[in-house]
Amino acid sequence: MDKHLTITNTIRTLRFFAGEMSQQLLAEKAGVSRQTILAVEAGKYSPSLELAFRIALVFGVPIGEVFSCEECERAAANKPGTQQEGHA
């Protein structure tokens, strides 16, 4: 198993759809610094689960809409149950 997961996020898109919300405003609403939002958005820093939920809460979307993991999605797609459902 790979040590690091490829975690991606849609924060930039979500900020755009939230009326081009600034990083500063998102940082204030999530209770962190703008540098942290900048690092998370750039994929340089993986936030704690709590911060991830707080960011999702700011946009009013489920956490899965903000953060996703390529490996997890691939694993979910390859899950036997999922494949059977797909073939049915």
Partner 1 sequence: MYYQQKKSIVSIVISVILLSVYYIYIIGKLNAGAVTLDDAKFFAVTMLIFIGIGIVATIAVQIIFHILFSISIAVQEREKDSETIEHVVKAAMVEDERDKLIDLKSSRITVIVSMFGFVVGLLLLALDYPFGVMLNIFYGAAGLGAIGEDVSKLIYYRVR
Q: Which residues in this chain contact partner 1 in the complex, by CB under 8 A?
A: 24, 27-28, 31-36, 39, 44-45, 47-48, 51
Nearer to partner 1, 10 or 46 (CB): 46
CB of 44 to partner 1, least distance (A): 5
Q: What Cα–Cα distance (Å) separates residue 14 from each residue in 1, 22, 55, 72?
A: 31, 11, 10, 21
CB of 48 to partner 1, least distance (A): 5
Neighbours of 26 (CB within 10 A): 22
Residue type at 12?
A: R
Nearer to partner 1, 21 or 34 (CB): 34
Pairing between strand 67-69 and 7-9? antiparallel
Nearer to partner 1, 44 or 87 (CB): 44
